[in-house]
């Protein structure tokens, strides 16, 4: 499972699809735009004694509706993420920092088949690269089709299929999820590969506990001029709090801060599927903050 970030984004949309409208719950359910920064402490690079890697990440998402009525919604947008992997000692990636980028163009469509069935479909072309040289391996596309069934006022099931092509490889996975809303204040979801518990005591505050994958994969050019694939995998568990800042564009702006840990990390350098370098990474602390526009 190499395109973990794309899966996380898909799982987030999947979790939102079967939820009630915002006015029936204190937990907002649709993230239309965001801007954030994440810091990760230095992790030991176990294959290179004395070497470590620290992480910086920043990103933005903006989506706008181009067609909407009572049963349908079509949105288009742009998603950008910057990662900086900073190495403290000489490694196969060199000493110093690698600046890596993901630029994607999400297109999403939702349709409601009455009160109990909903459909969500999305496609997201983009590039995952260091922008030293853009080739066919830098191009990527992810797609997801999901149906959501609210079989009980408190329970929903989601199921569908996910496809991605990145770093020249194709993969397909099933998608399964369950969402439990015991009251207007609580939302508990397990939408592979993400688990989330959200509590909103009122419309102003939202508290979350989340476990989800992190990391990504990029096509890069090494210091010796070779085109390679870099894969960084991580799992993250965090606690977060959001506060309502104001209302505009028909939604609510929240400021948020999250703190947690990163674990189960590894780093690989590959060429046409052959591993040239691989190393486990130690655990890290993470801290992030930003703003979100929710509906």
Q: How confident is the model at residue 25 (pLDDT cuts 50, 70, 90)?
A: low
Is the CB of residue 38 less than 8 Å from the CB of residue 282?
Answer: no
Output the CA angle 295-124-97, nearest 5 degrees. Answer: 100
The per-residue pLDDT for range 39-98, each reduced to its tens digit, is 999 999 998 888 899 999 999 999 999 999 989 999 999 999 999 999 987 777 766 889
Provide mean pLDDT across the span 135-142.
87
Please spell the DSSP secondary structure of 169-226, one letter per residue: EEEEEEEEEEEEEEETTEEEEEETTEEEEEE-SSSSEEEEEEEEEEEEEEEEE-TTS-
Give me the pLDDT at residue 95, please: 67
Distance of CA 150 to the CA centre of its chain: 25
Pairing of strands 72-87, 31-44: unpaired
Q: How do residues 173-224 score in pLDDT, each as one tens digit?
A: 999 999 999 999 999 999 888 999 999 999 999 999 999 998 899 999 887 7
Domains in the chain, CATH or no CATH each: 4-294 (2.40.160.40)
Q: Is the pTM of this model over 0.75?
A: yes
- Asked if pLDDT for residue 121 goes beyond 60, the answer is yes
CA angle at 231 for the pair 229 and 234, rounded to the nearest 5°: 175
């Amino acid at each position: 499972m190499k395109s973990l970030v794309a899966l996380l984004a898909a799982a987030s949309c999947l979790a939102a699809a079967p939820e009630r409208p915002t006015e029936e719950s204190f937990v907002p359910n649709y993230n239309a735009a965001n801007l954030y920064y994440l810091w990760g402490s230095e992790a030991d690079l176990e294959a290179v004694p004395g070497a470590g890697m620290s992480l910086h990440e920043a990103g933005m998402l903006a989506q706008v509706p181009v067609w909407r009525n009572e049963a349908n919604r079509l949105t288009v947008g742009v998603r950008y993420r910057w990662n900086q992997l900073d190495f403290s000692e000489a490694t196969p990636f060199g000493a110093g920092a690698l600046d890596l980028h993901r630029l994607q163009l999400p297109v999403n469509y939702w349709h409601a088949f009455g009160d109990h069935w909903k459909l969500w479909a999305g496609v997201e072309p983009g590039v995952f690269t260091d922008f030293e040289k853009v080739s066919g391996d830098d191009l990527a596309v992810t797609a997801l089709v999901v149906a959501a069934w609210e079989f009980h006022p408190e329970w929903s099931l989601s199921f569908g299929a996910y496809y991605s092509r990145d770093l020249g490889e194709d993969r397909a996975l099933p998608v399964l999820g369950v969402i439990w809303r015991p009251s207007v204040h609580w939302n508990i979801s397990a939408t592979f590969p993400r688990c989330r518990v959200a509590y909103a005591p009122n419309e102003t505050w939202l508290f979350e506990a989340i476990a989800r994958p992190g990391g990504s994969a990029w096509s890069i050019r090494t210091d010796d001029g070779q085109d390679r694939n870099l894969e960084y995998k991580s799992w993250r568990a965090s606690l977060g709090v959001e506060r309502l800042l104001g209302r505009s564009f028909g939604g609510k702006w929240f400021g948020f801060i999250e703190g947690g840990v990163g674990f189960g990390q590894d780093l690989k350098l590959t060429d046409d599927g052959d591993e040239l370098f691989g190393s486990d990474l130690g655990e890290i602390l993470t801290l992030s903050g930003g703003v979100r526009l929710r509906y």
